[in-house]
Amino acid sequence: MAPQLGNCSRCRKLYLRIRNICDECYQKQEENFLKVAAYLREYPGSTIQEVSDETLVSVVEIRQFILSGRIIMGDFPNLTYPCETCGNLIRTGKACKSCMAQINQLDQHTGKEKKEHSHEKGNKAGGYITHYL
């Protein structure tokens, strides 16, 4: 498959799509990672806000380094990042336990509704008969 043109998700510049961001933004991202990694090696007890303040790398970008596995949380006991939903500080995943519970509860509720709705369709003339297949 031939490379395609696209707009960089960070700077919106047109580029030949090899990865999800242009080469300039990729280089900046790598520089930021090296800054964060060097700071954490020197100050392993830092919080994410302290790292951000000292390196001038956003909390969002540091969080991306963590979620992509480039920063191993076990090495840094005070390093936490905000939950995507409520902003509470967490050490794993994208959402805290309470938000995950709420998401799972909503998922179960919508799953039941879909099941009931599809069952009703199956009983009507002209409806899907998937439960017989």
pLDDT digits (tens, 9 = 90+) for 14-64: 888 888 899 999 999 999 999 999 999 999 999 999 999 999 999 999 999
For residue 126, what pLDDT is reported? 54
* pLDDT of 123 over the 70 cut: no
* pLDDT of 132 over the 60 cut: no
* pLDDT of 116 over the 70 cut: no
For residue 115, what pLDDT is reported? 63
CA–CA separation, 17 vs 80, rounded Å? 33
Residues 6+ apart with CB under 8 A from 5: 14, 15, 16, 17
Query: How is residue 60 written in tokens?
Result: 């969002």
Confidence class of residue 2 from pLDDT cuts 50, 70 and 90? low
pLDDT, tens digit, for every residue of 57-101? 999 999 999 999 999 888 899 999 999 999 899 998 899 999 999
CA–CA separation, 70 vs 33, rounded Å? 9
Query: How is residue 85 written in tokens?
Result: 């939903």
For residue 113, what pLDDT is reported? 65
CA–CA separation, 5 vs 14, rounded Å? 7
User: How much is the pTM?
Assistant: 0.72
Helix (H, G, I), strand (E, B) or coil at 4: strand
